[in-house]
């Protein structure tokens, strides 16, 4: 005999899940605004993104080049695939060069001991994050 869930329980569960998700969204909005409005945190965050992006692109390019090796000497449609893969690889290499060029600047900014600047009022920046990234989340009361 299977166990039946009472109708009221599924509604309560759904409401709890929605409340939990809303709180996670609000926490993410607060954390994002706090990071983006702090001179030290934003620099470290973008340095991390830059480093992580470089590592990811380098790994992807290794696989992209293997795929190109499969198709580079194929005639007909295979040649079209190879040409497209070359263009794709070139675009990724260009992005890699851009990140590689930016990384020393971010390292320099992160290593400086500047005044620890904060943009105020934080509520303004939380609202910007919410409006741009979480428009479906109602402002916290």
Joined tokens for residue 47: 């340095």
User: Which pTM was predicted?
Assistant: 0.79
User: Contact, 71 vs 82, CB < 8 A?
Assistant: yes
List residues bridging with 38 in a β-sheet: 118
Q: Cα(33)–Cα(47) distance, rounded to whole angstroms? A: 17
Phi and psi, residue 112, nearest 5°:
-70, 150
Contacts of 21 (CB under 8 A, 6+ apart): none
What pLDDT does 137 receive? Answer: 85
Q: pLDDT digit of tens for each residue in the chain (141 aa)? A: 566 656 567 788 888 998 899 899 999 999 999 999 999 999 999 999 999 999 999 999 999 999 999 999 999 999 999 999 999 999 999 999 999 999 999 999 988 866 678 999 999 999 999 999 999 888 877
CB of 43 closer than 8 Å to CB of 110? yes
Is residue 99 a contact partner of residue 46, using CB atoms and an 8 Å limit? no
CB 24: neighbour CB atoms within 10 A? 11
């Amino acid at each position: 005999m299977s166990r039946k869930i009472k109708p009221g329980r599924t509604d309560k569960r759904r409401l709890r899940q929605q409340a939990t998700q809303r709180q996670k969204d609000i926490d993410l909005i607060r954390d994002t605004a706090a990071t983006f409005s702090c001179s030290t945190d934003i620099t470290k965050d973008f340095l991390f993104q830059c480093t992580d992006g470089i590592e990811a692109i380098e790994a992807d390019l290794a696989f992209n080049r293997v795929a190109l090796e499969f198709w580079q000497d194929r005639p007909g449609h295979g040649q079209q695939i190879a040409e497209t893969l070359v263009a794709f690889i070139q675009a990724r290499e260009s992005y890699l060069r851009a990140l590689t060029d930016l990384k020393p600047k971010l390292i320099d900014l992160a290593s400086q001991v500047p005044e620890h600047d904060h943009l105020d009022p934080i509520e303004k920046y939380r609202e910007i994050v919410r409006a741009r990234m979480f428009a479906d989340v109602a402002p916290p009361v």
